[in-house]
Amino acid sequence: MKMKRFAVALLLGAGWAASSHGSTVGINFVGNAGGVVASNYNFSATDMAGVVVQANWNNGKTQTGSTTTILGPQNGILVDSTGVDSGLTISWLADGTGKAGRTEVSGDNVLMNGYLDDQLDGGDTTVTLANLNQFEAQYDIYVYFGAGADNRKATVSNGDTPYGLKTFSSSIQSFPSNYVQVVNTDLSNPNIFPNGNYAVFPGMTNDSVTISYLRNGANSGIHGIQIVPHVPVQRGNALGLNFVGNVADLADYNLAADETAGVVAQTNWNNGPLAVGATVNVGGPLNGALVDNKGLNSAVAVSWMANGKGRVGRAAVSNDNVLMNGYLDDSSTDVGNNVTIMFSNVNQFVSSYDVYVYVGAGADNRRGFVSNGTTTNGFNTYSSSSRDFPVDYTSITNTDLSDPSSFPQGNYAVFSGMTNDQFTITYERENANGGIHGIQIVDASPAESGYAAWYNFYGLVEGPEGDDDHDGLSNLYEYGLEGDPKDPGDQGEPSVYSLNEEAGTNWFVYVHPQLSDPDSGLVYYLELTDDLVSNVWTNDGYEVTGTNFVDTLDYVSNRVSTATNDQQFIQLIIEQL
């Protein structure tokens, strides 16, 4: 029997994600480039730069300008990162233009060279963007700022959130390696503003927005601006704060972002370098903020107070030995003059959590008390330089405080099942100096399964519709097809198809994989249409003919008759239950 001609197109439903940050808009303010090499300040269409890396940066050369004064890639319009007219408009106003004066080495050094200069106190440099919703319904704005010298104080704002900063883009800084995000919103004391050179205003939806930059005592201004499609992120499940203590060798006391430590092992430990401090004093991974174990701003705030700083004095052999080295020291014999650490906004990070408090001193067997205000544990310190971590981690569970001489040795206490938005941890010495090495806040929500467990296993940042490896396939579809969301070359198991004849009827057979785990939390089905212009899809017109289990996958066979339509478009839909 002659088979009827039949055309079919196979799609992956909503699984094809727009590549995260795939289409962005960047504006580079050329600044005062007179008498210097133009390429050190001006972008060509192919130059790549930005925290969110892109080409096709637009160039604004004058201190006051608008869309019509944009110079390239297309004069008089704002193009996106693909070189297409974005539809956005812009206007800006500044007292003058400035330059950092660096010699071009990278595209990022060009971006961080010229700037709109705020030269007078009391008047902001402003940049206004409009028609934003024609470009993206929800977006993030990246603002790059600096000056010819570091440590110049200023504030930058989107009208809702102001950030306080000290400039950090002088000619001695090199980019992209020295990009530092500013997240400090405490404007009470400009003298302790953190150094930084860009800020992010996330999740904005206004059709127009004005970015303002106000100097505080010395010239500085805006190097550039990026508009980036907003991709929701899912935070990590732990937050760690390491108290650096009385530093002898920074490497022995400070934890780098990629170093893993803790009873609940995690990376991205925050470092507290002072005896008395707050969120604004946190030094890295993100200066002035508490980040979670994925390196994302947790929104949690902290303040702490101690009589001094101490150190055990061990040489770093492991990252846990670094954590258990420096400490906030209760060196006062005054009753009530304790080490105190207060966290707030905790429920913005986790709703139910356990708090791990790491305690110790330069010598073992110093008695102390650690409390969360509800439960108090008594112990003898056990973190001297003769101890080796993580081997010597010893839990403290003693709540019998009647006889301090019989307190057991230990070096960390766990306060479980906490739910308060704010809590305070105190350390009180009993007979000799001791204190707190560090604190962890760990999510105590019920154990995850399905997509959530897979997501955290890979340490992803973007949500189910996001695309962490930028391969065009969403994270949810990578999960459903057993792909690797960190490898753009592995999108998982593909579907297969064929044309078959059975009992005089011609069939298009479509076989797709699905996770065989009944707790996967996913549902799979097909949708069909014969007209992409109408974009009307239905899950009728096909039948499931069988399944074939192979290890963790179930291969589902579907068939579509070729007799009804000359062409069909088929897409696989994967959704969360």
| pLDDT (0 to 100) of residue 59 | 95
Q: What angle do CA 60, 62, 68 make, to 5 degrees?
A: 60
pLDDT at 233 over 80: no
Q: How far apart are CA 293 and CA 270, in angstroms?
A: 9
Q: How many CB atoms sit inside 10 A of residue 282's CB?
A: 24
Q: Sorting pLDDT into bands at 50, 70 and 90, what band is 385?
A: very high
When pLDDT is averaged across residues 150-163 and rounded to a whole number, the result is 96
192 touches 280 (CB < 8 A): yes
Comparison of pLDDT for 54 and 249, the residue scoring more: 54
The separation between CA 20 and the C-alpha centre of its own chain, rounded to angstroms, equals 13
Predicted local distance difference test score (pLDDT) of residue 456: 82
| 498 or 394, higher pLDDT | 394
Q: For residue 309, is pLDDT > 80? A: yes
Interval 227-245 mean pLDDT? 85
**Looking at the structure, do residues 404 and 477 belong to the same domain, yes or no?**
no
Q: Which two tokens stand for residue 380?
A: 């003898």
Is 303 within 8 Å of 342 (Cβ atoms)? yes
Instruction: Report d(CA 376, CA 391) in Å as an integer.
Output: 25
Contacts with 5 (C-beta within 8 Å, 6 or more apart), sequence order:
566
Tell me phi and psi for residue 564, to 5 degrees: -80, -45
**Residue 258 has which token pair?**
């990629």
pLDDT interval class at 3 (50, 70, 90): very low
pLDDT computed for residue 33 by the predictor = 56
Q: What angle do CA 295, 450, 511 make, to 5 degrees?
A: 120
Between CA 162 and CA 219 the distance in angstroms is: 18
Q: What is the largest CA-CA distance in the chain?
A: 99
Alpha-carbon distance values, 82 to 23, 25, 219, 566 (Å): 7, 9, 34, 36
Q: Is the pLDDT of residue 219 over 80?
A: yes
pTM: 0.61
Rounded to whole angstroms, the Cα distance separating 213 from 219 reads 11
48-78 pLDDT, tens digit per residue, is: 999 999 999 999 989 999 999 998 899 999 9
Average pLDDT of every residue of the chain: 89
What pLDDT does 156 receive?
97
Percent with pLDDT over 70 in the chain: 93
Local structure of residue 288 (DSSP, 8 states): T
Q: Report whether pLDDT(250) > 80.
A: no
Contact 469, 20 (CB under 8 A): no
Give yes or no: residues 432 and 520 share one domain. no
pLDDT confidence bin for 10, thresholds 50/70/90: low
Question: Same domain for 536 and 560?
Answer: yes
**pLDDT at residue number 127:** 98
Find, among 358, 344, 331, the residue nearest to 303 by Cα.
344
Which is higher by pLDDT, 248 or 20?
248
Asked if 264 and 319 sit in the same domain, the reply is yes
CA distance 28 to 561: 56
Instruction: Please name which of 99, 103, 128, 126 lies closest in space to residue 115, comparing C-alpha atoms.
Output: 99
- Average pLDDT estimate for 508-525: 94
309 in Cβ contact with 326 (< 8 Å)? yes
Two structure tokens written together for 264 = 């609940």
List the structure tokens of 201. Answer: 């205003």
Going by DSSP bridges, is the β-strand pair 58-60/25-29 parallel, antiparallel, or unpaired?
parallel
* Confidence class for position 21, pLDDT limits 50, 70, 90: very low
Tell me what the mean pLDDT of segment 514-528 comes to. Answer: 94
Secondary structure of 189-201 in HEC code, one letter for each residue: CHHHCCECCEEEE
Copy the structure tokens of residue 284.
């890295």
- Per-residue confidence (pLDDT) for residue 445, from 0 to 100: 82
- Name residue, tokens 């400035």: 98
E strand residue ranges, 205-338: 209-215, 220-229, 238-243, 270-272, 276-278, 301-305, 308-311, 326-330
**Are 51 and 200 within one domain?**
yes
- On the question of pLDDT at 1 being above 50, the answer is no
CB 43, CB 70: distance < 8 Å = no
Tell me: do 259 and 312 sit in the same domain: yes
Q: Is the pLDDT of residue 79 over 90?
A: yes
Spatial contact of 264 and 344, defined as CB atoms under 8 Å apart: no
Least confident of 7-16, 249-258, 401-410: 7-16
Structural domain of residue 486, as residue ranges? 1-19+450-577
Domain boundary among 207, 229, 251: 229
Pair 170, 146: CB distance under 8 Å: yes
Which residues are paired to 154 by β-bridges? Answer: 165, 215
* Region 327-341 average pLDDT: 87
Q: Are residues 421 and 327 in the same domain?
A: yes
Phi, psi of 251 (to 5 degrees): -65, -25
Grouping H, G, I as helix, E, B as strand and the rest as coil, residue 546 is strand
Confidence at 187, pLDDT banded by 50, 70, 90:
very high
Work out the pLDDT band at 5, boundaries 50, 70, 90.
very low
On whether both 145 and 278 belong to a single domain, the answer is: no
Give, in order, the Cα–Cα distances in Å from 275 to each of 245, 251, 282, 339, 424.
7, 19, 12, 9, 16
Q: Are strands 367-371 and 376-380 parallel, antiparallel or unpaired?
A: antiparallel
Do 493 and 427 fall within a single domain? no
Last residue of a domain, one of 443, 475, 495: 443
What number of helices (H) and strands (E) belong to the chain?
5, 34
Q: Range with the lowest mean pLDDT among 30-34, 209-213, 406-410?
A: 30-34
Q: What is the pLDDT of residue 40?
A: 67
Question: Would you state the pLDDT for residue 232?
Answer: 65
51 & 168 share domain: yes
Same domain for 315 and 393, yes or no, is yes
Domain boundary (443, 471, 499) is at: 443
Cβ contacts of residue 21 below 8 Å, gap of 6+?
Answer: 52, 54, 228, 229, 231
pLDDT tier at 260 (50, 70, 90 boundaries)?
very high
Above 90 in pLDDT, residue 360?
yes
Mean pLDDT of the region 291-314: 91
Buried (b) or exposed (e) across 391-428, using 16+ Cβ within 10 A? ebbeebebeeeeeeeebeebbbbbbeebeeeebebbbb
Whether residue 502 has pLDDT greater than 60:
yes
Vertex 391: Cα angle to 388 and 393 (nearest 5):
90
In this prediction, residue 501 carries a pLDDT of 86
Tokens coding 363:
């010598």
457 & 381 share domain: no
DSSP 31: -
Domains of the chain: total: 3
Alpha carbons 388 and 374: distance in angstroms, whole number: 31
Mean pLDDT in residue range 458-479: 89
Element at 357 (helix H, strand E) = strand 353-360
**Distance from the Cα of residue 156 to its chain's centroid:** 20
Task: Say if residue 498's pLDDT is above 70.
Answer: yes
What average pLDDT does this structure show over 382-400?
96
H or E element, residue 479: helix 475-480
Share of the chain above pLDDT 90, in %: 66
Cβ count near 234 (within 10 Å): 17
Higher pLDDT, 556 or 313: 556
Exposure string for 313-339, b = 16+ CB within 10 A, e = fewer: ebebebbbbbbbbbbbbbbbeeeeebb
What is the band of 564 on the pLDDT scale with cuts at 50, 70, 90? confident
**DSSP three-state, residue 348:** helix
Distance in angstroms (rounded) separating the CA atoms of residues 401 and 381:
15
Q: Report how far residue 107's alpha carbon sits from residue 48's, in angstroms, rounded to the nearest whole number.
A: 6
440-467: pLDDT as tens digits: 999 998 777 799 889 988 878 888 998 8
DSSP-assigned letters across all residues of 423-459: EEEEEEESSS-EEEEEEEEEE-SPPP-HHHHHHHHHT
What integer pLDDT is reported at residue 45 of this predicted model?
92
Judge whether residue 11 has pLDDT over 70. no
Question: In CATH, what number is assigned to the domain containing residue 537?
Answer: 2.60.40.10
Instruction: pLDDT band for 209, please (50, 70, 90 cuts).
Output: very high
